[in-house]
Amino acid sequence: MDELNKEEIVDNINNEQAKTRKGHLILKKREGVYEESSKYCLFIGSNKRSLILKNFMYDIYSIYKPLTCYMPKAHSNLSNIIDKIDKLVDICVHNNCSFFFSVFSTKKKPSRFIIGRLYNNKILDYYVFSLISYIPLKLFPLSKEILYDTKPIVLIQGSYFEQNETNRYVKNILFDFFKHKNVDTFSKKSIQRLIVISAYQKNNEINADLGKMYK
């Protein structure tokens, strides 16, 4: 029997198990990635941001590290950052980052921050949030004793996240962002951080809280 070519093998093994070595190799290449690698995040400053926003970004950076690339200085080429997503993607790709986080402020839209993620070196999605209130980490004395490279438990709660598909995507990106590095195993003693994200609706306004608890 003549050796089957690649196209014939693909047809034969579609929804079936491969019976030849070449078929196994083709199936292996077609399989998805079961375990994603830990994701690095680019923290970058826009050209306009307040001191509060700078401190807020630094605290989020502290929570996320060591999987980070930190560029806190103002970037003049990132004015109107929403229109410069392609530029952010290029910087992420150059620094091998799958996430980006930035803060910006304008007269019409003060105290904003943006979280975005990449897939195959292209923009997957991004979301813009307003910072309403903020308590710096330095006001919590125990935060200095926490090892920031430990994997946290992430709890996301609130019916808002299940109201529609967009809200579910927001829930997904927040969990993906804060879950930190991938680990095979962990012990009870290694759990030092709990990150709680809550969302609720009041007077037709959506409010979200990011809480962080320490052991």
pLDDT at 91: 92
> Which amino acid makes up residue 146?
I
State the CATH number of the domain containing residue 162: 3.40.50
Task: HSE, CB side, 13 Å, CA atoms: give it for residue 102.
Answer: 29
**What is the DSSP code (8-state) at residue 142?**
G
Over residues 93-139, the pLDDT tens digits come to 999 999 999 998 877 778 899 999 999 999 999 999 989 888 898 88
Q: For the chain, how far is it from start to end, CA to CA, in angstroms?
A: 67
| pLDDT class of 206 with cuts at 50, 70, 90 | low
Per-residue pLDDT at 203: 62
The b/e string for 86-105 (b: 16+ C-beta within 10 A; e otherwise) is: eebbebbeeeebbbbbbbbb
Does some domain include residue 213?
no
What pLDDT is stored for residue 70 in this prediction?
92
Cβ proximity of 94 and 100 under 8 Å: no
**212 pLDDT more than 70:** no
Pairwise pLDDT comparison (56 vs 152), residue with the higher score: 56
Mean pLDDT of the chain: 77
Q: Helix, strand, or coil here: 133?
A: coil
What does each C-alpha distance from 56 to 21, 52, 113, 123 come to in angstroms? 54, 6, 9, 24
Residue-wise pLDDT for 18-28, tens only, equals 566 665 555 55
Number of domains within the chain:
1
Which of the two residues, 210 and 116, has the higher pLDDT score? 116
Tokens 């709680």 -> residue: 196
Q: Specify if 204 maps to a domain.
A: no
Q: What is the pLDDT of residue 158?
A: 87
| 135 domain residue, yes or no | yes
Q: Is the pLDDT of residue 213 over 50?
A: no
Q: Does 38 have pLDDT greater than 80? A: no
DSSP, residue by residue, 60-126: HHHHHTTSEEEEEEE-GGGSSGGGGHHHHHHHHHHTT-SEEEEEE--SSS-SEEEEEEEETTEEEEE
Q: Is 80 exposed, middle or buried (0-12, 13-18, 19+ CB in 10 A)?
A: exposed
Which residues pair with residue 118 across a beta bridge? 123
pLDDT digits (tens, 9 = 90+) for 142-190: 776 666 667 778 889 888 888 889 889 999 999 999 887 666 776 676 6
Does residue 61 lie in a domain region? yes
Confidence of residue 34 (pLDDT cuts 50, 70, 90): very low
Report the pLDDT value the prediction gives residue 13, as an integer from 0 to 100. Answer: 44
Q: What pLDDT digit, counting tens, does each position of 61-88 carry? A: 988 888 899 998 877 777 778 888 999 9
pLDDT of residue 9 exceeding 50, the answer is: no
| Higher per-residue confidence, 183 vs 13 | 183
In terms of residue numbers, what domain contains 168? 36-198
Q: Is residue 23 in a domain?
A: no
For CA atoms 50, 175, 192, 214, give the dihedral sign.
positive
Predicted pLDDT of residue 194: 81
Residue 150 lies in a domain: yes
Under DSSP, the state recorded for 43 is E
